[in-house]
Chain A
Amino acid sequence: MKNKYLSYLLLVFIAGLWSCSDDNDVFEQTADQRINETVTAYQQELVAAQYGWKAIIYPAGGGVYSFYFKFNDQNRVVMYSDFASESAVTSKESSYRLKAMQTPSLIFDTYSYLHVLADPDGDVNGGLDGDGLRSDYEFSFNTDSLNTENITLTGTKNQSKLILIKATQEEAAAYGNGGLAKSLLFSNISKYLTYFKRVTIGGVVYEIAVNQSARTVTLNWLVGTTVNSFTTDYYYSSTGVSFITPFVNGSQTITGFTDLTWDESRLSLGMTAAGSKVTVVEAAKPLKVDVAAARRWYQAAADEGGYWFSWDGFHVNGVDDAFKVNTLNYNGTSPYYYYFYWPQFGSGYDAYGPAFVTDNALSLYYADAPRTPTFATDGRIIFVSSGLLGEAYPTSGPAVDSKNYLYDTNGFYIIQLSDNAYDMVSAKDGKGWVSWIK
């Protein structure tokens, strides 16, 4: 009898449990109220930073760039950018707005220094036409970034990462006083005549190499006879060059370079690193020669029956395309395309010369035939002529100058940058080099 009704009681009881009166709202407010509140909170936070924000952006296309933003409550933002010397010293005002897209978003909605990175016109930023540097100007706020010292955002289109860091009064003043432009003096390091550059910090001699388009700094140093190497991304701040990854060597930590100075007449870059004033100096040869690099370079192309090429030929004494190979033209109808070095072009000889474009096809008309090069035990590669190939080899001009430079008896050091990129540096004085790629 009891049990007969137990099951019904159970059913009624369960029905009672289901009777959700008002607990289907996880949140106390509606989604609209919450998003409006969040957008307002972000807006206030951006404007409330009275000294503005330092910003670092990592475009999807690589590299890292820094900005300074000062937002106001009228949808206006004033900024500096470390992308170019002009944008580092002259501020530019443009508009921005916060909008509830799928998430709360920050949109820089008219053109600014930030858009220079994203511009699809390759002439603007050095990227590919149609892509630019694959950066962003429309960002969503990452969820954890409200009411913290840093705001992190993600680009909507390319997923670039943007970090905003509250600036201090001193930093804001430094940006206003051209501090960023002073930091950009570091870029003059490319004006050194020698390929190799050294700087001594805390008693350790470092070889310093800077890739300005990828924004990386590489430091090489010797421990005994072994070369150690450290590479980091860098950006420019109001006080100098900042490393994304601080460099630690024993008790020494280098977070970047500050107090940059540049002496144009002496081509000399001064800076402070790890608390001491240092100067970058020229070096004619590498810290330690990679003795196997020359053979690797030669064999890498020979193994696949291919060749190395260079768009601009030799850079000598501070001049890009020193021999003006880009002005070459065959018969006035076939423009120059690139310079090549073709190992084992024939039995016992290689080929070295310009390639031209005739009727949309790559054509070879003449070249030098260096004998199979000598690989010196100290790592140098030395080229000797065995004659000429083809017809109508010029009697003077870019091809002859390029040939004479190659046959310098001091030979060249080969520096490997990657599997498909090597630099070939004059062993005579380190002031001439060519970048081979394939």
Chain B
Amino acid sequence: MKIKITFSPFLAALALTLLLGSCKEDKLENVEEISGLGGEVIPPTAIDKYITDSLTTPYNIIMKYRWDQFEFGDVTKTLVPPKEEQIVPVTRAVLNTWIKPYIAQAGSVFFNKYSPKTFIMSGSVQYLSDGSVVLGQAEGGRKIVLFDVNNFRVRGMSGYIAARDSANVKQSTHTLQHEFAHILHQTILYPVEFKEIGRGLYQGQNWINVSDAEARRDGFITSYASSAFDEDFVETVATMLVEGRSGWDKMINSIPAGFSVNGTSQADAQAKLRRKEALVVNYYKTAWNIDFYELQKKTRAALIPLL
């Protein structure tokens, strides 16, 4: 027997309605218990209390030290979390060599408005494939990663060796000052004349092949300063603050006689650095009403006991 299929609009509509209506949309489920939402609950330790009292409450800054892979830009790199006994000394150094001098000179309203708010600690350095290592990193003026926390030793800590460790301490302060100076010039730009001083001598990505001493002969205080205008500006600021006025003078005066590979004379290189110095000082005064030499004095004074 042949089955003849005829189309009946009514019955078809009935079937379709049944089909559609038969499966009601479920309500959204209760999402109140997403794991870790609102932060993890960890019983606070003495370290947590120190960070809360000295950074978070007064300056709204978090110092994150418990391991969280995703705070680090490159997840393929091998790192380790910091040693607990290192966390307070490093936090204290951040407080004393960066926060306090700025607040003393420029006030807490200024500082709290512009300071980066998230700090991340790594116990080790980050090794790069060319054999060099990363000691500090910043992301967008919001976050600063401090590397090599486990080897941070200031004068008086056990195992301190001046020749090795004072460079580390200076480097970490330098990183903070460097990144903070970026935030400042991104808020109010430095005078365009600054870009003219080193015209034609910037190295771009080639800066890694230039030594600090070579860069200085072209009027850049570090090799990284020779990479771009902005880096030049913040490296100049950071070096002036970390080395202090006499250290800065010594660096300029020790530029050797003769010409650099790019043909810059000793006198020219020194004049360029002096001009940059003057522009930095002027910028801090006009843009932020900060007496730079006073800030320099306070920063250097805070750093010296650690070296």
Contacts and interface: CB of A to CB of B under 8 A. Distances in A.
Interface of A: 3-8, 11-12, 15-16, 18-22, 24, 30, 32-33, 35-36, 39, 74-75, 94-95, 97, 99-100, 107-111, 115, 118-121, 129-132, 134, 137-138, 156-157
Nearest to B75: A157
Nearest to B148: A121
Contacts, number: 121
A110 B124 contact: no
A178 B5 CA distance: 88
Interface of B: 1, 3-6, 8, 11-12, 14-15, 18-19, 22-24, 26, 29-31, 33-36, 40, 42-43, 45, 65-69, 77-84, 123-127, 131, 150
A115 B84 contact: no
B14 A3 contact: no
A110 B82 contact: yes
Contact of B83 (A4, A8, A111, A138): A111
Contacts of B69: 138, 156-157
B81 A15 contact: no
A110 B84 contact: yes
30 contacts: A4-B6, A11-B12, A12-B15, A18-B22, A19-B18, A21-B23, A21-B24, A32-B31, A32-B35, A35-B35, A36-B33, A75-B42, A95-B45, A95-B66, A95-B84, A99-B40, A100-B36, A108-B67, A110-B84, A111-B123, A115-B81, A115-B123, A118-B78, A120-B78, A120-B124, A120-B126, A121-B125, A131-B78, A137-B81, A138-B67
A272 to B, nearest CB: 38
Nearest to A73: B43
B8 A111 contact: no
Contacts of B8: 8
A21 B5 CA distance: 31
A101 to B, nearest CB: 9
A132 B4 CA distance: 77
Given A3-B3, A75-B43, A97-B40, A15 B18 contact: yes
A130 B127 contact: yes
A20 B20 CA distance: 11
A19 B23 contact: yes
A250 B231 CA distance: 73
Residue among A36, A95, A97, A156 with the highest chain B CB neighbour number at 10 A:
A95
Given A12-B14, A111-B123, A121-B124, 4 more contacts: A12-B18, A24-B26, A99-B40, A115-B81
Nearest to B19: A15
A109 B81 contact: yes
A100 B125 CA distance: 27
Contacts of B126: 120
A113 B111 CA distance: 39
A121 B12 CA distance: 73
Contacts of A137: 67, 80-81
Contacts of A115: 80-81, 123
A119 B67 contact: no
B33 A32 contact: yes
A7 B66 contact: no
Contacts of A99: 35-36, 40
Contacts of A97: 40, 42, 66
Contacts of B66: 95, 97, 107, 109-110
B34 to A, nearest CB: 5
Nearest to A36: B35
A4 B4 contact: yes
Top-3 shortest CB links A-B? A19-B22, A130-B127, A100-B35
